[in-house]
Amino acid sequence: MALLTILVGNASNTHKRQSSLLKLEPFEQACVLIRHYETLHTPRHWPTIAYGHVVKAGEKYQKRQYTHAEADRILRKDLSTLCAYYRTYGRDSLLLACLAYNVGSGRIQKSTLLKKLRSGNRNIHKEYVSFCRYKGKIHKQLYRRRIMELTLFFDD
């Protein structure tokens, strides 16, 4: 429960906010978590828009500032697509989708994490949090994000 303070801050009503987060459906929790850790990108971040969507060839997004509502729609569409992509992993599909949203599904496809899950090995903590490096060094915010994702979406 204390880990949820990372998401909701240290306001006097933290307990109330934590309880509210836990009452949300897992997909909604994932959206809250992603919005918390991703910034609302500005046009200078192009081709990254909204809450971390990387514009691919053929997509009709424009280089402009997206509103929170527009960014949220893009996030939900992307996360839904990733959940469908990892559907064969059952209860782990949302966990993998959250990770892929941040690091890309290509990195996950080649990972020891996915190999372990495919083989039925659920001892993945070390492999999962290994996706917390930036430029070769452990990044505290990425580490917190991985711990939050495991706490909320991994059922071992």
pLDDT tens for 106-144 read 999 999 999 999 999 999 999 999 999 888 899 999 999
**Rounded to the nearest 5 degrees, what angle is found at the Cα of 131, between the Cα atoms of 130 and 135?**
100
pLDDT tens for 33-86 read 999 999 899 999 999 999 999 999 999 999 999 999 999 999 999 999 999 999
List the domain boundaries for the chain: 25-153
How far is the C-alpha of 137 from the C-alpha of 127, rounded, in Å?
15
Residue 47 phi/psi, 5-degree rounding, is -95, 20
CATH of domain 25-153: 1.10.530.40
The model's pTM: 0.86
